Amino acid sequence: MLDSIGVDSIDDLFDEIPAHLRAGVLEAVPHGMNEMDISRLMRERASQNSTALCFLGAGAYEHHIPSAVWEITTRGEFYSAYTPYQAEASQGTLQLTYEYQSMMTALTAMDVSNASMYDGASSLAEAILMAVRANRKSKSRKILIPTTVNPVYRKTAHTIVKGQQIELVDVPYDHAAGTVTLEQVKQIQAQEGGDITALVLQQPNFFGCLEDVDAITDWAHENNILVIAVINPLTMAVLNPPGNWGVADTNPGADIACGDGQPLGAPMSAGGPYYGLLCCKQALVRQMPGRIVGRTVDLDDKEGFVLTLQAREQHIRRSKATSNICTNQGLVVTASTIYMAIQGAQGLENTAAACFANNNKLVEKLTAIDGVKKVFAGSHFHETVLQLDKSSGRPASEVLAALMDKGVLGGFDLSLDYPELGSAILVCATEMRNDDDIEIYAKALQEVLNMSAATAAQLAESA
Amino acid sequence: MLIFEHSSKGRRGAPQSPAEKASVTSIPENLLRKDSAALPEVSELQAVRHYTRLSQKNFSIDTEFYPLGSCTMKYNPRACNSLAMLPGFLNAHPLTPDAQNQGFLACMHELQSMLCEATGMSAFSLAPMAGAQGEFAGVAMIDAYHKSRGDDARKEILVPDAAHGTNPATAVMCGFAVKEIPTLDNGDVDLEALKQAVGPQTAGLMLTNPSTLGVFERNIEAIAKVVHEAGGLLYYDGANLNAILGKIRPGDMGFDVIHSNLHKTFSTPHGGGGPGSGAVGVAERLIPFLPLPTVTRDNEQYRYLTAEDCPQSIGRLSAFMGNPGVLLRAYIYMRFLGREGMVRVAEFATLNANYMMAEAKRRGFTLAIDGRRASHEFIITLKNEAREHHVSAMDFAKRLLDLGYHAPTTYFPLLVPECLLIEPTESEAKEALDGFMDALEQIKQEAESNPEILHAAPQTLPVKRLDEVRAAKQLDLAFKAEL
């Protein structure tokens, strides 16, 4: 090979690089390993991670995943293919993506889905950018976001949209219901001068409570405000999906729906990869960022699939693109599509309903303990806010640490993001938690709350 | 046939969900779904067979040579997948307390260190979930840096005209104006034009080196000096890092901020379009602005740094920690390579590309840039073939599919007419390279003798050439089942 090139050594191939800039030995990179040794290392590392019983949600959920899902997903033909630019050699990925788009529009009752975004939080950011492009009648670039929207979603959206002079305006929630009221929304709208570009609504919201989506959606549309739904797609098997929000005859439904697809077949995996779902009304399709697959025909009129509407994208439009995004989360979407196909609507409904029922059981058991109470009235989906009696004098973080010591991942500490709730935690039970698991949690919590404050503090310290 | 067309009422993978639907009647009726979602109703076997068959309609690295320029389609070692999917990692909730997540955090901390060493940067954040998000983070950090110094007038990002489309798109997302800098015929940035373009309005320059034209930017030190003297920062697009890994480090070239596409250089799977990872590295002065979370180690314990630790951070880019499963795969791959293996990556990727380039020339193809070393990729232009035989680069690409090779990147970079950007990677043996060159030569002969073969290609794939115009005009983006 060197002869064909006409050089004496491989090193000659780097002779255009200035010699004084050449790298020395990469001292801080260890020596290479073989597969046997790496396997040993990774098994050790994996075994250092927690095996606690999980009652934590807050945006990532432990659900059952059929074995077939990732066995097929990690077939080399899916795993090691690239973006389907050569459509004829990528019909597998393209058809699967079209099927994903079809399933996601069915689940959300929206007209159009793209091929996915990075995750739920970043898909909210893209939904906001999309709304600003689409709502040409609004000049304010102001977005109303209730504080019942996942706090990290709000933070992520802020990071991504702030460069474009878009203002995210908080809407406080009703402290009895744990949801936003139409009155609150109207009040903030008035304070902000009336012209609002879009409004975000999360269903179920971060507290697990159910927002009054119909009334707020209709009001928003009367006021020329686009509605962005943030949803947990699994719950849409049971809950009214965003495409059907509102009771008005004209212009029904959220305009854009986004959320995290993790509950549909992606393992928790320390935070990802998951994927962001992004759907919209037909009228907004040309404002949609990311990849979209369309069905078409070949020269023989045979059905086939291609990436379409590429004129929106960065590799064509460069600085005028709808977004800089190119990658979607193809492999996770592959898993999710297979998951939805195996479950079907009935499987998803049964799963979602089991989450709802198990969470209710959990809340019933835990609130039977002295000093534990439910904070918000009304229905909860598979998460609920519980307040730990202040008289125990113990912050939520200490209680959670003591639970962890007993092998229970007890929930999300709300005190940093919602100090007004006092010592409060967000608990979650999915279809994976059975009665025995719930009993273990209840017993552990009882013991922790009975513990002296001193012992608990000591435990928290050692954790 | 779509999965929906296999549907039969009431069928499902029954063992995969609770047998009965629990009551949800305590939820107010107006909040409940009124119909059932129109999803497919198939058995588990039907789903397994359908998606297995679909997979067989893909080209992939595991089945074909895939020399897609600028995408670094190298072998994805299987152990990277199986070890990243150990239950200890898969079952970890992202909000698990750091103390119970030490195994994962140790891997992430070491990955940050290895990336720093390999690129010559001072600190890394693994948060960005793809190259484009890494670019976003990088440019947002440049913005935050200038603003933190009260230098509010820097509103412009410079981008060479050969750059990836993401560069200008990213700059605009971050609120900057974009100015393009021309490229010389030899592939280097036009230094004189750059000198004219910089000024107090310059926030930074985004550069890929080796460039998208497949050559090393020889004037990199002069470029860095011009940009830095104007008060701007230098951004390294890591798309082509594979070419120089262990040979020269972006930090030593003078770059202030870089992103590394772990799905290219560090072999995490492309997955049919993601997930990727666009980890960002910075020089000392930009450390305070890194996106969150990053992993630190104090008192023998690993922990996530948060907004409280890093008040000047540009913030979060995702709900949790980027794409941890991808990061684990990159970590495992880097431990396989080690310091010696990293250098070998660049050496053999470069050897393979230069060999193919020499072969292309010998077989009568026109190189886009002749007389220079190829990096890990090179470009041929088919403008002569197009003029003489009315065949396009796309025709060549489609005919390659028929012959069992994935096509190289076509029509990128935009500066070169009728081009193929060819990147073999270090994974491929000489036999594969020769086989591909034979195929390319055969197609060249066909173009001369019987161009119809090219126009009609592909013939051997599940579909023939697809009507993209119809796809865009008569939008059919979702199957609507009739219930």
Structure tokens at A135: 């709502």
The pLDDT assigned to A463 comes to 58
- Give yes or no: residues A324 and A369 share one domain: no
Q: Let me know if residue A291 belongs to a domain.
A: yes
Smallest CA–CA separation between A393 and chain B, in Å? 22
Give me the amino acid identity at B152: D
Residues B292 and B157 in one domain: yes
CB atoms A4 and B359 under 8 Å: yes
Pairwise CB contact (< 8 Å): A324 & B12 = no
Residue A228 exposure: Cα atoms within 13 Å on the Cβ side: 30
Minimal Cα distance from A17: which residue of B?
B218
Closest to B130 (Cβ–Cβ): which among A76, A118, A354? A118
Per residue in B201-226, pLDDT (tens digit) is 999 999 999 999 999 999 999 999 99
Closest CA to B325 of B268, B242, B265, B260: B268
Instruction: Write out the two tokens for B229.
Output: 């003297």
Contact B317 A78 (CB under 8 A): no
| Distance (Å) from the alpha carbon of A2 to chain B's nearest alpha carbon | 7
Q: Which residues of B touch A113 (CB under 8 A)?
A: 477-478
State whether A232 and A375 are in the same domain. no
Would you say residue B482 lies in a domain?
no
Kindly report the number of other CB atoms within 10 A of residue A81's CB atom.
Answer: 32
Tell me what pLDDT residue A389 has.
79
Give CA–CA dist B360/A4, Å, rounded. 11
Distance CA B251, CA B253 (A): 5
Looking at chain A, which residue has its C-alpha nearest residue B128?
A: A118
Pairing between strand B278-282 and B294-298? unpaired
Per DSSP bridges, beta strands B177-181 and B156-160 are: parallel
Residue A450 lies in a domain: yes
In a shared domain, residues B302 and B438: no
* Residue B482 confidence (pLDDT): 61
Residues of B in contact with A5 (CB under 8 A): 351, 354-355, 357-358
Same domain, yes or no: A352 and A325 = no
Q: Which residues of B317-349 are buried (b: 16+ CB within 10 A; e: fewer)?
A: bbbbbbbbbbbbbbbbbbbbbbbebbbbbbbbb
Residue B63 lies in a domain: no
Instruction: Check residue A326 and give its pLDDT.
Output: 78
Domain count, chain A: 2
- The number of C-alpha atoms within 13 Å of B381 and in the hemisphere containing its C-beta is 13
Residue A440 lies in a domain: yes
Distance CA B185, CA B197 (A): 19
**Chain A stretch 91-120, residues whose beta carbon is closer than 8 A to a beta carbon of chain B:** 91-93, 95-99, 101-103, 105-107, 111-113, 115-116, 118-120
The total number of residues shown for chain A amounts to 463
Q: Which residues of B touch A270 (CB under 8 A)?
A: 89, 92-94, 96, 101, 104, 320-321, 324-325
B472 burial class (0-12, 13-18, 19+ CB within 10 angstroms)?
middle
What angle do helix axes A35-47 and B102-119 make, rounded to 10 degrees? Answer: 130
Measured in degrees and rounded to the nearest 5, phi and psi for residue B208 equal -105, 130
DSSP state of B393: H
pLDDT score at A249? 84
Question: Distance (Å, rounded) from C-alpha A97 to C-alpha B283?
Answer: 40
- Same domain flag for A399 and A307: no
CB pairs under 8 A between A and B: 653
Residues in chain A predicted with pLDDT less than 70, given as ranges, are 390-393, 452-454, 456-457, 459-463
**Helix (H, G, I), strand (E, B), or coil: what is residue A26?**
coil
Interchain CB distance below 8 Å, B273 and A158? no
Place of tokens 């697009």: B237
Nearest one of A68, A356, A389 to A237, comparing CA atoms: A356
**Is B65 inside a domain boundary?**
no
Within this chain, do residues A171 and A303 fall inside the same structural domain, yes or no? yes
* Identity of residue A38: I
Element (H, E) at B215: none
Mark whether B413 and B286 lie in a shared domain. no
Other CB atoms within 10 Å distance of the CB of residue A391:
8
Residues A63, A66: Cα–Cα separation, whole Å:
10
**A187 CB within 8 Å of a chain B CB:** no
Question: A440 phi and psi, to 5 degrees?
Answer: -60, -45
Nearby residues of B199 by Cβ (< 8 Å), 6 or more positions away: B230
Residues B217 and B291 in one domain: yes
Q: Are residues B360 and B415 in the same domain?
A: yes
Residues B375 and B269 grouped into a single domain: no
Which of A4, A161, A269 is the best residue to mutate to test the B interface, defined by the most B CB atoms within 10 Å of its own CB?
A269
Same domain, A328 and A279: yes
Q: Which one of A278, A313, A338 terminates a domain?
A: A338
Whether B92 and A241 lie within 8 Å, measured CB to CB: no
CATH number at residue A306: 3.40.640.10
Whether A29 is in a domain gets the answer: no
Contact in structure between A323 and A290 (CB atoms under 8 Å): yes
Same domain, A110 and A234: yes
Q: Tell me whether residue B72 is in a domain.
A: no
Task: Please report, as a single letter, which amino acid is at residue B136.
Answer: F
Contact A64 B464 (CB under 8 A): no
Q: Do B12 and B4 meet the contact criterion of CB atoms below 8 Å apart? A: no
**B281 in the same domain as B381:** no
**Which of residues A338, A362, A377 is at a domain's end?**
A338
Whole-angstrom Cα distance, residue B289 to residue B314? 5
Look up the CATH number of the domain holding residue B459.
Answer: 3.90.1150.10
- Gap between the Cα atoms of A155 and A152, Å rounded: 5
Cβ neighbours of A67 (radius 10 Å): 9
Residue A2 domain flag:
no
**Tokens 């110094």 found at:** B149
Structure tokens at A335: 């898993």
List chain A residues with CB under 8 Å of B40. Answer: 103, 340-341, 344
Phi first, then psi: give them for residue A37, nearest 5 degrees: -70, -35
Q: Do A349 and A334 belong together in one domain? A: no
Q: What is the CATH number of the domain that holds B312?
A: 3.40.640.10
pLDDT at position B318 is 97
DSSP category for residue B16:
G
Peptide bond into A204 cis (omega under 30): yes
Tell me, yes or no, whether B360 lies in a domain.
yes
B161 lies in the same domain as B258: yes
Q: Considering only CB atoms, which chain B residues are within 8 Å of A269? A: 89-90, 92, 324-325
Cα–Cα distance for residue pair A307/B273, rounded to 1 Å: 12
Q: Which chain B residues touch A304 with a CB distance below 8 Å? A: 462-463, 466
**Is residue B284 in some structural domain?**
yes
Q: Are residues A92 and A211 in the same domain?
A: yes
Which phi and psi angles does A454 have, rounded to 5°? -65, -45
Q: Quick check: A219 contacting B, CB < 8 Å?
A: no
Single out the residue of B192, B125, B199 nearest to residue B157, CA to CA. Answer: B199
Q: What are phi and psi of B236, to 5 degrees?
A: -105, 115
For residues B256-275, b (16+ Cβ closer than 10 Å) or e, as one string? bbbbbbbbbbbbbbbbbbbb
Residue A30: closest C-alpha in chain B: B338
Contact A329, B275 (CB under 8 A): yes
Q: How many angstroms away from the CA of A442 is the closest CA of chain B?
A: 20
Which residue in the set A79, A121, A313 is minimally distant from B76, CB to CB?
Answer: A79
- Interchain pair A49, B88: CB under 8 A: yes
SS3 A31: coil
Rounded Cα distance between A327 and B129, Å, is 9
Q: A233 CB near a chain B CB, below 8 Å?
A: no
The minimal CB distance from B83 to the residues A31, A39, A106 is found for A39
Q: Are B142 and B244 within one domain?
A: yes
Q: B19 lies in which domain range? A: 3-55
Per-residue pLDDT at A392: 64
Residues A319 and A429 in one domain: no
CA distances from B410 to A7, B363, B396, B417 (A): 29, 20, 9, 10
Total count of domains within chain B:
3
Given B12, B131, B172, which is nearest A347 (Cβ)? B12
pLDDT band per the 50, 70, 90 thresholds, residue B402? very high
Whole-angstrom distance, CA of residue B460 vs CA of residue B401: 8
Q: Indicate the residue of B55, B88, B172 with minimum beta-carbon distance to A319.
A: B172
Q: Are residues A355 and A257 in the same domain?
A: no
**Whether residue B357 is found in the same domain as residue B416:** yes
Q: Which residues contact A37 (CB under 8 A, 6 or more apart)?
A: none
Rounded to whole angstroms, how far apart are CA atoms A62 and B93? 8
Interface test with B, best of A8, A45, A152 (most B CBs within 10 A): A45
Mark whether B144 and B272 lie in a shared domain: yes
- The reply to whether residue B95 touches residue A56, judged by beta carbons under 8 angstroms, is yes
For residue A283, what are the domain limits?
67-338
Six-digit token string for A81:
């293919």
Distances (CA, A) of B78 to A79, A325, B21, B303, B419: 10, 28, 39, 29, 33
Identify whether residues A297 and A352 lie together within a single domain: no
* B476 assigned to some structural domain: no
What would the two tokens of residue B28 be? 């107010």
Contact (CB, 8 A) for A303 and A114: no
The residue-averaged pLDDT of B128-136 equals 96
**Pairing mode, if any, of strands B366-367 and B294-298?**
unpaired
Cross-strand pairs, B184:
none
Q: Does A269 contact B44 at a Cβ distance shorter than 8 Å?
A: no
- CA dist., res. A244 & res. A236, Å (int): 11
In a domain, B244, yes or no: yes
**pLDDT tens profile B308-344:** 999 999 999 999 999 999 999 999 999 999 999 999 9
Q: What percent of chain A has pLDDT over 70?
A: 97
CB A53 within 8 A of CB B427: no
Q: Model pTM?
A: 0.97
Q: Is A169 helix (H, G, I), strand (E, B) or coil?
A: strand
Sheet holding A412-413, edge to edge: A372-374, A383-388, A424-428, A412-413
B17 CA: distance to closest CA in chain A (Å): 5
Residue located via tokens 């074995």: A67
pLDDT of B483 over the 60 cut = no
Opening angle at CA A113, ends A110 and A119, nearest 5: 115
Q: Where are the beta strands (DSSP E) in A68-215?
A: 112-113, 142-146, 167-171, 198-203
Give the SS3 label for residue A89. helix
Burial A32-56 (b: 16+ CB within 10 A, else e): bbeeeebbebbeebbeebbebbbbb
Do A116 and A157 touch, CB atoms closer than 8 A?
A: no
Residue at which a domain ends, from A312, A338, A364: A338
List, in order, residues 6 or more apart from A435 with CB less than 8 Å away: A361
Strand runs labelled E in A51-146? 53-54, 112-113, 142-146
Tokens in use for A156? 């992520």
State the pLDDT at residue A315: 76
Same domain, B186 and B272: yes
Q: Quick one: pLDDT band at residue B300, thresholds 50, 70, 90?
A: very high
